[in-house]
Chains A and B, each alone.
Chain A
Amino acid sequence: MKILVCISHVPDTTSKINFTDNDTKFDTTGVQFVINPNDEFGLTRAMWFKEKQGASVTVINVGGLETEPTLRKALAIGADDAIRVNTTALDSFTVAKQLANVVKTGGYDLIIAGRESIDYNGGMVPGMIAGLTEANFVNNCIGLEIEGTTAKATREIDGGKETVSTTLPLVIGGQKGLVEESDLRIPNMRGIMMARKKPLTVAEPIEAKTQTNSVAFEKPTPKGAVTLVSPDNLDELVRLLHNEAKVI
């Protein structure tokens, strides 16, 4: 089984979010970039398929040179090789087009992406890859088993979960639950050394037209001070929720 794990390169969850160029660009000053958390769960599940079922694992990012350290980290965790499609990620559709092209030319059986990236929060790329390659698609995936060309997946739904069966080729939008938090791996020294020697191919992009443009960013208006209510006067809290907030 050939697995392709899509890796989004995103600001660390503790990052302060600021913008430059008249609020049109994300300010990367002082920001640490990491593997998108949802992709980390997917990559860890892929390592299980590699170790237990002999799958090969390729990681891929669509982006500029600056994303290579993130791909190297994925190699250090254990992926076999990496591909960087050398283009700026302009919108979800063009990114999905590049990824779909690699999926088709590389003949991948299982494409693991994240439910959403924590920067753009599009939640679009995995479904678009599935649409473009006509593969089956399971989103919000919290469990995945594969036997030959059949897959059994668990998917989170609003208010519960469901188990589905399907066949490869398959795209999943993965999230926490796919593996446990405690299964996540921190690259060790040996992994980091080996990652340096693993192939990282730079592929040229195909032509793709965007469908959306990011025009500008805004930051939320700072919140007014909290209204404190004494624990001895909770009637007041009920009153505020009813009369002022009008939520009960």
Chain B
Amino acid sequence: MSVLVYTESDQGIFKKAAFEVASYAKEVATELGTTVTAITFNASDTAALGIYGIDNVLNVNNDLLKTFNANAYAQVIKQAAEKENATVVVVSSSANSKYLAPLLSVGLNAGYASNVIAKPESTSPFKVKRTAFTNKAFEITEITSEVKIIGVSNNSFGLVETSGSASAEEFSPSVPDLGITVESVDKATDKVSIADAEIVVSGGRGLKGPENWGMVEELAEVLGAATACSKPVSDLGWRPHSEHVGQTGKPVASNLYIAIGISGAIQHLAGINASKFKVVINTDPEAPFFKAADYGVVGDAFDVVPTLIEKLKTFKAQQ
């Protein structure tokens, strides 16, 4: 018996989510009285995983697996789970993890709970708490299969440092036919993605037009944040679809979400409610967003945002 965790890296460097799922896996392993093994693909330095409770690392170095392929990665993780006799497999909520987890679920005949936000409520029976109804509720799910897969929501568990260190070994699984070939990738490397961001700055129709997004981008830059927008803003073509957040757009589970000129419609709130702290800047004190926010500024974004940028710059300079 053991716990296996898939720790994601990008260009060989671990993502923050990798350390979060490692911390989570450690917690589960402690409850079960067992060890944690991490599976990594083409990672350059696996030592950092030890800090987050990993006992052993299976590192796969294979040119065929240089770029992500859901089916191939799922097959490899399956082989690692079988080798380690894993009864629990932990993955993150990144787009890639969510892509491969259902394939892994079929491969291991393992029940999968996605969007899990806390350590298991109990391990026998095995119950976890997850978000459902697009953050309008939580669901307690019992996983009844022998092997269990947990998809941990980003920024829900946090990082837990230990004094441990991880041993590492090369793992050479068999790789199936890839089935899918990546032709081209179009990715902004200089920008924080909404999925990885700890802070998200979002603009709504209150900003009047795409020409006014400069201050939104500047605010995001000062904070090291990702930019997002409400649905009408992307429908109007002011911003790309990839920035649309909400119930029918991307979900946001950041530590801080700043909404500028967004009214706070139920579909918008549903998608961003998992964020820990919410700030709203809106001229209308009756805007529904004020009921969902932690901090609010009733004021004109065209005055408030530039001032806030200056204040934050001063603050950062003092830090």
A248 at the B interface (CB under 8 A): yes
Q: A241-B295, A245-B256 are in contact. Are A163 and B199 (CB under 8 A)?
A: no
A210 at the B interface (CB under 8 A): yes
Return A110 CB to nearest CB of chain B, in Å: 15
Residue from A137, A165, A234 whose CB has the most chain B CB atoms within 10 Å: A234
| CA–CA, A109 and B17, complex, Å | 36
Return A161 CB to nearest CB of chain B, in Å: 5
Residue from B134, B191, B247, B312 whose CB has the most chain A CB atoms within 10 Å: B134
Pick the contact of B132 from A121, A158, A177, A182 — CB < 8 Å?
A121
* Structural contact, A124 and B102, CB atoms closer than 8 A: yes
Which B residues are in CB contact (< 8 Å) with A139?
Answer: 70, 95, 98-99
Pick the contact of B294 from A13, A163, A182, A245 — CB < 8 Å?
A245
Pick the contact of A118 from B74, B99, B247 — CB < 8 Å?
B247
* Structural contact, A227 and B105, CB atoms closer than 8 A: no
* Structural contact, B180 and A164, CB atoms closer than 8 A: yes
| CA–CA, A227 and B280, complex, Å | 10
Pick the contact of B133 from A121, A125, A127, A140 — CB < 8 Å?
A121
Which of A59-67, A68-76, A193-201, A218-226 is the contact stretch? Answer: A218-226
Q: A124-B114, A223-B292 are in contact. Are A131 and B107 (CB under 8 A)?
A: yes
Nearest A residue (CB) for B100: A127
Return A114 CB to nearest CB of chain B, in Å: 10
* Structural contact, A156 and B312, CB atoms closer than 8 A: no
Q: How many A residues have CB within 8 A of the partner chain?
A: 78
CB proximity to B under 8 Å, residues A106-155: 118-128, 130-132, 136-140, 142, 152
Which A residues are in CB contact (< 8 Å) with B196?
Answer: 158-159
Nearest A residue (CB) for B95: A158
Which A residues are in CB contact (< 8 Å) with B96?
Answer: 157-158
* Structural contact, A157 and B279, CB atoms closer than 8 A: no
* A-contact 0/1 string along B133-169, CB 8 Å cutoff: 1111111111111000000000000000000000000
Pick the contact of B256 from A130, A131, A166, A247 — CB < 8 Å?
A247
Pick the contact of A131 from B103, B273, B291, B294 — CB < 8 Å?
B103
B83 at the A interface (CB under 8 A): no
Which B residues are in CB contact (< 8 Å) with A126?
Answer: 102
Which A residues are in CB contact (< 8 Å) with B295?
Answer: 226-229, 237, 240-241, 245
* Structural contact, B103 and A137, CB atoms closer than 8 A: yes
Return B125 CB to nearest CB of chain A, in Å: 9
* Structural contact, B297 and A123, CB atoms closer than 8 A: no
A104 at the B interface (CB under 8 A): no
Q: A121-B134, A237-B297 are in contact. Are A213 and B186 (CB under 8 A)?
A: no
Pick the contact of A228 from B248, B277, B296, B303 — CB < 8 Å?
B296
Q: A13-B266, A19-B137 are in contact. Are A211 and B110 (CB under 8 A)?
A: yes
Q: A164-B180, A212-B141, A228-B296 are in contact. Are A156 and B256 (CB under 8 A)?
A: no
Return A166 CB to nearest CB of chain B, in Å: 4
Which B residues are in CB contact (< 8 Å) with A227?
Answer: 294-296
* Structural contact, A165 and B180, CB atoms closer than 8 A: yes
* Structural contact, B188 and A159, CB atoms closer than 8 A: yes
CB proximity to A under 8 Å, residues B108-148: 109-115, 127, 129, 131-145
Q: Dominant SS at the A interface?
A: mixed
Nearest B residue (CB) for A223: B292
Which B residues are in CB contact (< 8 Å) with A19?
Answer: 137
* Structural contact, B298 and A228, CB atoms closer than 8 A: yes
Which A residues are in CB contact (< 8 Å) with B94?
Answer: 158
Return A172 CB to nearest CB of chain B, in Å: 11
| CA–CA, A228 and B276, complex, Å | 17
CB proximity to B under 8 Å, residues A39-59: none
* Structural contact, B180 and A162, CB atoms closer than 8 A: no
Which A residues are in CB contact (< 8 Å) with B179?
Answer: 136, 166-167
Pick the contact of A242 from B106, B297, B315 — CB < 8 Å?
B315
* Structural contact, A217 and B137, CB atoms closer than 8 A: yes
A78 at the B interface (CB under 8 A): no
B43 at the A interface (CB under 8 A): no
* Structural contact, A132 and B106, CB atoms closer than 8 A: yes
| CA–CA, A160 and B195, complex, Å | 11
Which B residues are in CB contact (< 8 Å) with A226?
Answer: 280, 290-291, 293-296
* Structural contact, A128 and B270, CB atoms closer than 8 A: no
| CA–CA, A166 and B182, complex, Å | 9
Return A208 CB to nearest CB of chain B, in Å: 12
CB proximity to A under 8 Å, residues B2-60: none
A231 at the B interface (CB under 8 A): yes
Other CB < 8 Å A-B pairs besides A176-B241, A213-B142, A228-B298, 8 of them? Answer: A19-B137, A118-B133, A123-B114, A128-B106, A211-B105, A212-B144, A234-B308, A237-B279
Measuring CB to CB, which residues of chain B are less than 8 angstroms from any residue of chain A?
70-71, 74, 94-96, 98-103, 105-107, 109-115, 127, 129, 131-145, 179-189, 191-196, 198-199, 223, 235, 241-242, 244, 247-249, 255-256, 266-267, 270, 273, 276-277, 279-280, 290-300, 303-304, 307-308, 311-312, 315
Q: Across the A-B interface, give the 5 residue pairs with the lowest CB-CB distance, nearest first.
A: A127-B102, A131-B106, A211-B111, A160-B187, A159-B193
Q: Can you pick out 10 interface pairs between chain A and chain B where the beta carbons lie within 8 Å of each other?
A: A96-B102, A124-B101, A126-B102, A159-B189, A161-B185, A162-B186, A167-B179, A215-B139, A215-B140, A242-B315
